[in-house]
Structure 1
Amino acid sequence: MSETTPNAAVTDNGEADKISSSHASVVQPVTPSNPTKVDETASPAMPPTKLPVYKRAWAKLGLSPIVFMIMFKPAVAATIAMAIYQRQEVAANYLNFGYLIIIVSITTVPILPRGKFLLNLFLSLFLTCFAAAMVLLGQYAGIKARQHTTDPSAPVGGYNSSASVVNAIFLMINIFGINVLRAARPAFSIPSIQYTVFVMVGFVYGPQEPTEAASQRFLKEVLYSFLTGQAISAAVCLFVIPVSSRKVFFGETTGFLQTCRGLLKAQLSFVEALKHSRLCKPIIESQQSANNGKDKLELAHKAYTEKFAALKSATMSLLGLGAKLREDVLFAKREIAFGHFRETDIHDLHQILRNIMIPISGLSTIADISERMHLPNSNNVSMPKSVTGVSPQSVLDNEQNEWLELVHTTGIGFETVIQVLDESLEHILILLKLIPDKRNKKAAASNEADIEKGEGPAEVNESYSDTLERKIEDFRKKRSKDLHSWAEERGLDSVFRTTAKHAMRPPVSEQDNTNPATTEREILASKRLHIILYMEYLLYSASRAILAAVRFAELKVEDGTMAKQRFVFPAARTVIKIIKGLIDGSDPTPDILSFDQVDGSGQTIELGDSFNTPKDPEHLPPKNLWQSLGNYLRAVPRFLGSAPVSFGVRVTIAVMCIGIVAYLKNTNAFFIKQRVVWCLVMTSVGMNPTSGSAVWNLFGNLTFTIFGMVGSFINWYIVDQKTAGVIVFFFLFMMFYFYFAARYPRFLTCIVAGALTHVLIIGYQLQVRVIGLQIATATGQPFYPIYELGPYRLLTVGAGVLVGYIWTIFPVPISEASVLRRDLGRSLFLLANYLSSVTATLDQRLAESDEDGENANLLSHHGHKLDKMRNKVLGKQQALINSMRQNLAFLAFEPRLGGDFPKKTYEALIDEAQSVTNYLTIIAYASASFPTANRTSTWLSTFTTSRIQNQSDSHKITSLLALLSASITNAQPLPPYLKAPEGFRLSDEILEAGTGVLDLANVDEPGFRAVAVVEVAQRCVVDSTEKIVRLVRELVGEVDFSYRVVGGSRNEDTESVSGGEV
């Protein structure tokens, strides 16, 4: 089967992989081809057809193919593991540890896509073998300690304190090591569970092993159980409803492109609703409200809000899919497969999808921009009284009609191009074989004609992509002409006069007779034109990105890639990156060179400090070999003071609080009899670095463990304890558990805890039936009937998660609030870095557009490095913002002492940080067109030479964000008199110079719209920074020794100026 033909398990936006991440979400794109959509051509008089009961129940339960797959595969693996153990020939190889086969078959996670599963399986096998070696070494050392401290004439067995101490030390070392690894390398999270179970079982029973032969026999049984469980899980993953990482990637690609179609239509609806925005009626709202127009305004505002909510929802779906694609493309490129696309093809396709996502998702910022532009204090513009209070009704009507006319013509242009883009996206899906081509030849011919009809006939032998490019350029030229005509009719000559400072001024002799309303109307019109240019540029950029996707699809058809399938292997470089990433956790992207760049002509680019190794304020760079060696030695204390080591120490102490019972003479027998080892497992696996998630795990694990115990009772007694019936109902119960895991992935850990409780109870009962009571009790564990074993399991799990919770909040609680504050400080510092890199990128691209020859090549080479560094910072920022949102969700479960947590303030700060990140990304994206624009026109070069490069304002914002980061991280008040600069705009110097470079006559020049987009985004960055300053000041305060006397006999307050100056 071609890996580019998504089956039912992955067409739902690649949800087959959502179980692997706690942040995964189900995305349902809105598409015209959605089969559940009601036929709009049906007669309204006909009542809707009522679905059968079973179909309604199926839809209500959400039993999609992907949900069924997540339910079915773990249940099959667990049932196979349980069923094969019922034969004596099989059970003889595992004896008392046969139940571990079932547990391992589940924890190897057979529902993962093939690429992720094989990586997880490799790590699990490696850690299992390493655990076996450690257990063998520890038990060997314990046996030698027993021999050296026991009289030769004494019995071989029995309790020995020396053997117990040795095994306890080995247990502590291994628990510490695996939890440090789990905290430092997320890829080891799932394999670490199996390692934890192995070493705990091995070292808990280790003190009982009297000889090396007994130890090796014990180790063989445990090791065989683990390897068998992993083999069963591998067979189920690879042969039962197989899902490759490539299928997941292409399924998500299908969902991404379909969601783009829905988002474009939501954008068109929003453009039509702009006539109801506050920017449309900044002057008339208050007057209409006073003239009994309140209901009408509320209805209009409601319609606008609904359209915006739909646009925002579609954008969030697209961004969610983009995040999933970013994660899954790595595994798709690494996978050995038989299909159409090579590794480089997948990489190129992902880059094209990223280029589509930025402008399309940026369209959702229009509502936020219109609200920002409406604010009366925006950019220090205030509406004069003659306009805001007593303007004639004719002026108000004229203001509204102008905006309605502009929105209407924009909507018409958008409707035309969005229809073409919708057809183009469908064309891409068909060419790449992501959806079946259900059109017959006649329909196909009709569709080909659809895109070519309109303004003039198609050229002879013109390809689909050429036709699309012509339509896109026609749209750009027509809109440029329309906007220029609209502005000319109103006497506007520039779109950049959005402040009173840069509004058009009449001659000096006429200034006394100037009406303030004229200036304000110019500013308002410029702001409205800015929004239209912003929308049109992003739509045009999205169109060009979709055109690139069409050309890519056509190229793959022409070069034969889509004609046949072939075996595809990852490149050697990719394999090396995988191994390197597992070892040091480094980013697989190429390293940035840390030295200045010199070309053949001797010209040099001096790189800033951010390109080099971070400086150490306590140490100068090493000057000799001994000092260089000292830097490596200093890594040891730095590692021991790291957060992963701190977490490992907490887990080790928590485990040994209970584990010590297994190594004391008076309590050893009790520990073994009551199976307390599973209490240790739950303590280790259930602990998390923060207390909010610890509370969640505490109640979640207890709740689902109760469900697992009750479910095991029903499973056992409903079939009158018959083995065959128990196994059949065991399969159904496993499907039941994993149904909730598929539908509610947030509860995954807790649900798995409940399922494992069910496995331990039922598995043990059937195991005793197979091997007999004598062998089952040979390890010192008495046999309990199921009605006694169930409560014991519940108590061990409850004690384990309770101890884990105690050691999460004691002695120093690592609360969600403290982690959130720390992460917010890091986010603001990353934001400062991102702003600085975007500013450098903007200047570099403007300089590159103004250079030629060797200088341009040198700047271009530096630009590639700058892009890599900027994208790396952006990836870290997005991951940190997602982490902060997750921590906010867990705050509800965190116990609070003292006052309430300022959750709303933190939410606002995170939202503003996200806004700044989004607008900076748009700036970087818009400026990417500068070098290309300079090759086709001289306008951008003229603009660059007319601009005085003054970065002081942007540098002030970077410094400001760094100060805010330090203040929030260290919980210290802000410096006094701190405020954001009024703005840093590309056009300020040119407007003040009075040149005609920014006149609307140049609106069709390459780069003009991009500059307008950068201006809008810069203004929003400044506005969001002001909000961040205000919010941080609310949290930490400010160094301020001024005072104010309030009340008393005086009618006015008296304020003293702070004594900061003498």
Structure 2
Amino acid sequence: MSDPSPEPDKAVDENLAAISASTEEPNHLDAKPSPQSIPTDARNGSSAAPTPPPKKPNMLQRAWKKVGFNPTTIMIMVKPAIAATIAMGIFQSQAVAKHYLNLGYLIIIVSITTVPILPRGKFIMNLLVSVVLTCFGCGMVTLGQWCGIKARQHTTPADASLAVAYGYNSSASVVNAIFFMVNIFGISVLRAARPAFSIPGIQYTVFMCVGFSYGPQEPTVAASHRFVKELLYSFLTGQAISAGVCLLVIPVSSRKVFFAEVAGFLQTCRGLLKAQMGFVRVLEHSRLCNPLVKKEHLETEEGKAVLQTFAERAKALKAASAGILGLGAKLRDDVVFARRESAYGHFRETDISELHQLLRRIMIPISGLSTIVAISEGMQEDGKLPDYVPEGVSDDEFNNERKEWLEMITAVIVTFEQMVQILDESILHILILLRLVPGASKDTKLQREDVEKNGDTSRPGQLGYGDYLEKRIKLFRQTRTAELKAWATSRGLNSVFQSTLKNQSTRPNMGHQKLPPGAQARDILASKRLHIIMFMEYLLWTTSLAILSLVRFAELKATDNTFRHSRLVFPKIKTLIKWVKGLINGDPDSGPQFGNLDENVDVPDIVYLGSSFNAPKDPEHLPPKNGIQRLGNHLRLIPKFLGSEPVRFGVRVTIATMSIGIMAYLHSTHKFFIQQRVVWCLVMIAIGMSPTSGSAVFNLLGNLTFTLFGMIGAFINWYIVDQKTTGVIVIFFFFMMFYFYFCAKYPRFLVAIVAGALTHVLVIGYELQVRVIGLAQATATGQPYYPLYKLAPYRLLTVGAGVLVGYIFTIFPVPITEASILRRDLGLSLFLLSKYLSAVTATVDMRLQDKSGDMKDKGSPGRRLEKMRHKVLEKQVMLLGSMRANLGFLPWDLKFGGEFPTELYKALVDEVQNITNYLTIIAYATESFPSSHSLSSTPSPTTLSRQTPWLTRFSHYRHNTIPQSHQLTTLLTLLSASLRNAQPLPPYLIPPSPYRISDELLDEGAELLELSNLDEPGFRAVAVVETGQRCVVRSVGRCVDRVRDIVGEVDFSFRVVGNSWEESMVFGGPSAGEAGADVGADGKVKNA
């Protein structure tokens, strides 16, 4: 099948459901019709015939739209229903049923839990793991039952009657119980430690529960082998049916999912650009243009409407940026399966990798556009300006100040609108050439001829559009440079880096006379505004370059015969080996990440690397010096593993399961356990337990609710067709579609909905099974036959009891709450942020000094620092997603005592996200530094000249790393330690003042900061770095305040309230966070 999907659909959230077989529906934020739908006459400026108004949809169309049916939803509904119905249908044949007997209903359950809705690549991986675990489980059950039978034989007298020899045996029960505990513990640990084993782990759990529940009553090895064979055949048959449905019924490849998500990503980029443009249009109402606002204006209806519009546009921009990041995360996950998959299509594995890299190059700058919201809102805070216009300021002064900036913003809006329109058409051009939209033209030769006829103009879909885009990008840069210089000249502003009084500028008409303090303050504010304008401009410009690279890629693929014919595509052996290692180790790049970086580094200078590049130090052990000590280090991994989170979770699950499972191994309760089908209580305990109490409450209520619905559905399914087998199977199919419709629409309730569907399957499947194999065979295992009106409530009770017991052991003996997990993760996130800040700071210094080495060499310092930075960023992104999920479960968490400070934690998570975004933009902006340097060695002061590249001269005058950046790293580390250990902050903890890398320039380098260098390579990038640094400092200050509010601060100062004021000053005054306790005249504390 071909790779691209002609019409991408809406995807199901993978973070909440193990379903990613869907495709992503484009984000239609832009209501304007695509150029394909615009008549040719209209595009050329001619008037076209007016189009009639669209017809009002009829009632059926409105209902269809209301329920949200689309190809993806229908696929998710139909495929599991077909698999379950096939499994139920084939068992109605005696020729089939004789091979499964009492375990035939497991075929239906396994066909569903193998998840046939997954894309082909993910499904095959899931299927392989499931088959391997099933075969391994078969071996474990066979071994366990054999050991139990041998224990029975050794403890049974030779002259015992058949009732004694084949009846209950305590030794056999103990052996089976031990095997059951060990296997449940192992699979629970594996599921917690390796997410790839989650779905196969469910089937393994069911296999263990059924195998070892019936194990104690197996009298002979032959009977055991017959039982295990039926159990194994049931699982393998269900997996085979699921595989056939996945691969043959509405087949969906991982490549199709990937390309549909690519289309969705590009369409969302179009929407984000529109949202950015909408926000730029209302910037005139922000603090960027109005550092001082007239109070009476805010009280008018017009002022309120303007503020509301600004807030709505800002919210829309943030939402669009969040959508881009979410799609980027999905692309990162799905590209792995798309590369591994064997297919018949157009794109090779290398093409998919290159396409994904180009999309990542777009994601960083285009998602960074949303930071303009926080930057513009922080103008007042950063400048410490009053809220309103002081009474002494005249209307003329106020209007003149506003008018100057309105002129600037107006010019920005005009140029940005033109560029955004071009980028919108460029993305459409990419979609057409990559055949990700319907109606993509295939006649590239005709398209090229049209371009030559049109001259400088071009339309999306025509080869050569990349040259047109490149010209427009250059024109955009030249226009913005001219406008900035003209505006600064008219205002007398000489330097965009006029951020502190250290770098004072002089106006052209004042000679060397310094500006007065009032004018100096206005120029500092103007410099900050210019930084923000250049920040916006640089991000849009780099976004344009990234889109241009993708346009070049699309045009190359349109002309190099990639789409000429389809071909068989196979993954590389290296890719498969990496997949197997990742499946075993949990991380494809597991193992030592860096090692000794001083080895084999081919750089001209001696490079000393920081301790963070090496393995973390052990505070209780020195590095091993001999083989015995190294062996001891390996032995210490065992207790470390046994104390890990997955093992603790596995112990909880094992204890919870055995609290009910013990009934299967005791003489007085074994018969009851078998008769009442309590085995399914064990299954629900093992697969339904959650690691935290908040999600446990959510799962408890959801599972109980949908299990009740499953019982009611089984009643309806059975009696609405008067218990006729054919009618029951037909209605069963529609019920399965009904259940999985809600799975598609509400993936958050996936586990609960599947629990309801399994309850339905257990009831209906058993009743039909009894009809086929007969009553005698159905009761041969000791289970009495119940009619459906009795069986359904029993199933409800067993499943409900399992869910309830699982919840009890989640909160007993010590509840693991979302609050504690969130605090721990947030502390870890702050520590990762300190590492990321340190890595970005080192990256900026290295690139400024041109010491990165050859980035193609894996041993170069720049390449290794880049690898470390990317790893820390990936972990940070994962932690942020986990923390936001925990925030969503907080309302369900157990609440004892005072309220949890949700708003403080939410604000802290947002600040961590903002700092991560700023640092990522800083690292991205410095990527252009190496190319901006001279290829020769760093010049000496005597060789510096106008011919020397600007960035080389700039870095020459900047000697050392700014100490404030190290203070920020120290601050974040302290915040992390205080939050993770629930300890108060050290006293007098004050964030550093905002700093910039240009502040390090010496007096003789001041001319480098003039606006005449605006077009020099690296000039705008330095301005972007400085803007990001200022935002990082501001956000870290907010983090300090919020962490102080959460954990407090070490502070024993006091102040006496009375006729005179006195303060403790033994070693210093009060801390920055608290003024101290109020002490009355009697010496008692009034307010502690």
Q: Structure 1 length as normaliser, TM-score?
A: 0.93
Counterpart in 2 of 1:1035?
Answer: 1046
1:471-506 C-alpha deviation (Å, 9 max, x unpaired): 211210111111011001000011121345545468
Q: Which amino acid aligns with 1:965?
A: S
Counterpart in 2 of 1:364?
Answer: 370
> Residues 11 and 22 of structure 2 are in contact (CA less than 8 Å); yes or no, is this contact kept in structure 1?
no
Equivalent residue for 1:254, pick from 259, 263, 274: 263
Counterpart in 2 of 1:677?
Answer: 679
Counterpart in 2 of 1:2?
Answer: 2
Aligned to 2:1055, what secondary structure does the other structure show? strand
Aligned to 1:661, what secondary structure does the other structure show? helix
Structure 1 residues 492, 35: closer, same or farther in 2, change over 3 A? closer
Structure 1 residues 20, 450: closer, same or farther in 2, change over 3 A? farther
Counterpart in 1 of 2:290?
Answer: 281
Counterpart in 1 of 2:832?
Answer: 830
Aligned to 2:850, what secondary structure does the other structure show? helix
Structure 1 residues 34, 473: closer, same or farther in 2, change over 3 A? closer
Query: Within 5 Å, which residues of 2 pair with 1:504-543?
Result: 504=505, 516-543=517-544
Structure 1 residues 1059, 584: closer, same or farther in 2, change over 3 A? same
1:312, CA displacement in angstroms?
1.9
Q: Tell me, in whole angstroms, the C-alpha distance in 1 between the residues paired with 2:490 and 2:21.
A: 52
> Residues 29 and 255 of structure 1 are in contact (CA less than 8 Å); yes or no, is this contact kept in structure 2?
yes
Q: Which amino acid aligns with 1:1055?
A: E
Q: Which amino acid aligns with 1:690?
A: T
1:587, CA displacement in angstroms?
3.5
Equivalent residue for 1:118, pick from 120, 124, 140: 124
1:3, CA displacement in angstroms?
1.3
State whether structure 2 residue 538 is matched by structure 1 residue 571: no
1:595, CA displacement in angstroms?
3.1
State whether structure 2 residue 121 is matched by structure 1 residue 130: no
Structure 1 residues 960, 992: closer, same or farther in 2, change over 3 A? farther
1:699-723 C-alpha deviation (Å, 9 max, x unpaired): 1100000000000000001101001
Structure 1 residues 36, 648: closer, same or farther in 2, change over 3 A? farther
Q: Tell me, in whole angstroms, the C-alpha distance in 1 between the residues paired with 2:490 and 2:881.
A: 48
Counterpart in 2 of 1:67?
Answer: 73
> Residues 420 and 451 of structure 1 are in contact (CA less than 8 Å); yes or no, is this contact kept in structure 2?
no
Counterpart in 2 of 1:915?
Answer: 914
Counterpart in 2 of 1:349?
Answer: 355
Q: Tell me, in whole angstroms, the C-alpha distance in 2 between the residues paired with 1:171 and 1:7.
A: 50
Q: Tell me, in whole angstroms, the C-alpha distance in 1 between the residues paired with 2:645 and 2:14.
A: 32
State whether structure 2 residue 489 is matched by structure 1 residue 485: no
Q: Which amino acid aligns with 2:550?
A: A
Aligned to 1:338, what secondary structure does the other structure show? strand
Equivalent residue for 1:172, pick from 158, 178, 181: 181
1:346-369 C-alpha deviation (Å, 9 max, x unpaired): 111101000001111111111110
Aligned to 1:848, what secondary structure does the other structure show? coil
> Residues 671 and 677 of structure 1 are in contact (CA less than 8 Å); yes or no, is this contact kept in structure 2?
yes
1:181, CA displacement in angstroms?
0.6
Q: Tell me, in whole angstroms, the C-alpha distance in 2 between the residues paired with 1:368 and 1:269.
A: 16
Counterpart in 1 of 2:169?
Answer: 160
1:139-169 C-alpha deviation (Å, 9 max, x unpaired): 0000000000001222231100000000001
Q: Which amino acid aligns with 1:259?
A: T
> Residues 13 and 20 of structure 2 are in contact (CA less than 8 Å); yes or no, is this contact kept in structure 1?
no
1:568, CA displacement in angstroms?
1.2
1:212-238 C-alpha deviation (Å, 9 max, x unpaired): 000000000000000000000000111
Counterpart in 2 of 1:782?
Answer: 784
Counterpart in 2 of 1:464?
Answer: 465
> Residues 940 and 1008 of structure 1 are in contact (CA less than 8 Å); yes or no, is this contact kept in structure 2?
yes
Structure 1 residues 121, 1036: closer, same or farther in 2, change over 3 A? same
1:601, CA displacement in angstroms?
7.3
1:45, CA displacement in angstroms?
12
Q: Tell me, in whole angstroms, the C-alpha distance in 1 between the residues paired with 2:21 and 2:834.
A: 26
Structure 1 residues 901, 561: closer, same or farther in 2, change over 3 A? same
Structure 1 residues 190, 1018: closer, same or farther in 2, change over 3 A? same
Equivalent residue for 2:320, pick from 289, 308, 314: 314
Q: Tell me, in whole angstroms, the C-alpha distance in 1 between the residues paired with 2:911 and 2:391.
A: 33
State whether structure 2 residue 201 is matched by structure 1 residue 199: no
Structure 1 residues 65, 511: closer, same or farther in 2, change over 3 A? same
Which consecutive residues of structure 2, in runs of 5 or more, have no partner in the other structure?
936-947, 1071-1088
1:866, CA displacement in angstroms?
1.1
1:603, CA displacement in angstroms?
3.8
Q: Tell me, in whole angstroms, the C-alpha distance in 2 between the residues paired with 1:624 and 1:360.
A: 52
Q: Tell me, in whole angstroms, the C-alpha distance in 2 between the residues paired with 1:978 and 1:15.
A: 42
Using the TM superposition, name which of 22-31 and 601-610 deviates more: 22-31
Using the TM superposition, name which of 899-908 and 274-283 deviates more: 274-283
State whether structure 2 residue 303 is matched by structure 1 residue 297: yes
Aligned to 1:1044, what secondary structure does the other structure show? strand
Q: Which amino acid aligns with 1:920?
A: L
Aligned to 1:518, what secondary structure does the other structure show? helix
Counterpart in 1 of 2:1084?
Answer: none
State whether structure 2 residue 873 is matched by structure 1 residue 874: yes
Q: Tell me, in whole angstroms, the C-alpha distance in 2 between the residues paired with 1:878 and 1:440.
A: 40
State whether structure 2 residue 810 is matched by structure 1 residue 805: no
1:263, CA displacement in angstroms?
1.4
Q: Which amino acid aligns with 2:1036?
A: T
> Residues 13 and 321 of structure 1 are in contact (CA less than 8 Å); yes or no, is this contact kept in structure 2?
no
Counterpart in 1 of 2:960?
Answer: 949
Q: Which amino acid aligns with 2:341?
A: E
> Residues 27 and 317 of structure 1 are in contact (CA less than 8 Å); yes or no, is this contact kept in structure 2?
no
> Residues 200 and 680 of structure 1 are in contact (CA less than 8 Å); yes or no, is this contact kept in structure 2?
yes
Q: Tell me, in whole angstroms, the C-alpha distance in 2 between the residues paired with 1:388 and 1:1015.
A: 30
Using the TM superposition, name which of 332-341 and 754-763 deviates more: 332-341
1:1006-1047 C-alpha deviation (Å, 9 max, x unpaired): 11111111111100000000000000011111111101334x
Structure 1 residues 46, 775: closer, same or farther in 2, change over 3 A? same
Aligned to 2:284, what secondary structure does the other structure show? helix
Q: Which amino acid aligns with 2:923?
A: A
Query: Within 5 Å, which residues of 2 pair with 1:961-1000?
Result: 961-990=972-1001, 995-1000=1006-1011
1:513, CA displacement in angstroms?
11
Equivalent residue for 1:622, pick from 621, 624, 635: 624
State whether structure 2 residue 960 is matched by structure 1 residue 959: no
Using the TM superposition, name which of 1018-1027 and 1036-1045 deviates more: 1036-1045
Aligned to 1:875, what secondary structure does the other structure show? helix
Structure 1 residues 987, 77: closer, same or farther in 2, change over 3 A? same
Q: Tell me, in whole angstroms, the C-alpha distance in 1 between the residues paired with 2:823 and 2:469.
A: 49
Using the TM superposition, name which of 526-535 and 1030-1039 deviates more: 526-535
Counterpart in 2 of 1:713?
Answer: 715
Q: Which amino acid aligns with 2:621?
A: H
Counterpart in 2 of 1:85?
Answer: 91
Q: Tell me, in whole angstroms, the C-alpha distance in 2 between the residues paired with 1:904 and 1:42.
A: 55
State whether structure 2 residue 1007 is matched by structure 1 residue 1007: no
Q: Tell me, in whole angstroms, the C-alpha distance in 1 between the residues paired with 2:601 and 2:176.
A: 62
Q: Tell me, in whole angstroms, the C-alpha distance in 1 between the residues paired with 2:934 and 2:203.
A: 59
Structure 1 residues 682, 34: closer, same or farther in 2, change over 3 A? farther
State whether structure 2 residue 615 is matched by structure 1 residue 613: yes
> Residues 31 and 259 of structure 1 are in contact (CA less than 8 Å); yes or no, is this contact kept in structure 2?
yes
Counterpart in 2 of 1:635?
Answer: 637
1:343, CA displacement in angstroms?
1.1
Which consecutive residues of structure 1, in runs of 5 or more, have no partner in the other structure?
none
Structure 1 residues 656, 992: closer, same or farther in 2, change over 3 A? farther
1:593-650 C-alpha deviation (Å, 9 max, x unpaired): 4331445677432222222111111111111111111111111111111111111111
> Residues 339 and 571 of structure 2 are in contact (CA less than 8 Å); yes or no, is this contact kept in structure 1?
yes
1:325, CA displacement in angstroms?
0.2
Q: Tell me, in whole angstroms, the C-alpha distance in 1 between the residues paired with 2:855 and 2:882.
A: 40
> CA RMSD of the aligned region, Å?
3.0
Corresponding pairs, count: 1043
State whether structure 2 residue 113 is matched by structure 1 residue 107: yes
Q: Which amino acid aligns with 1:264?
A: L
Q: Tell me, in whole angstroms, the C-alpha distance in 2 between the residues paired with 1:762 and 1:307.
A: 53
Q: Which amino acid aligns with 1:247?
A: K
Q: Which amino acid aligns with 1:482?
A: E
State whether structure 2 residue 866 is matched by structure 1 residue 863: no
1:43, CA displacement in angstroms?
11
Q: Tell me, in whole angstroms, the C-alpha distance in 2 between the residues paired with 1:797 and 1:525.
A: 67
Q: Tell me, in whole angstroms, the C-alpha distance in 1 between the residues paired with 2:603 and 2:1036.
A: 42
Using the TM superposition, name which of 561-570 and 954-963 deviates more: 561-570
Q: Tell me, in whole angstroms, the C-alpha distance in 1 between the residues paired with 2:172 and 2:858.
A: 68
Structure 1 residues 34, 244: closer, same or farther in 2, change over 3 A? farther
Structure 1 residues 373, 756: closer, same or farther in 2, change over 3 A? same
State whether structure 2 residue 865 is matched by structure 1 residue 887: no
> Residues 73 and 240 of structure 1 are in contact (CA less than 8 Å); yes or no, is this contact kept in structure 2?
yes
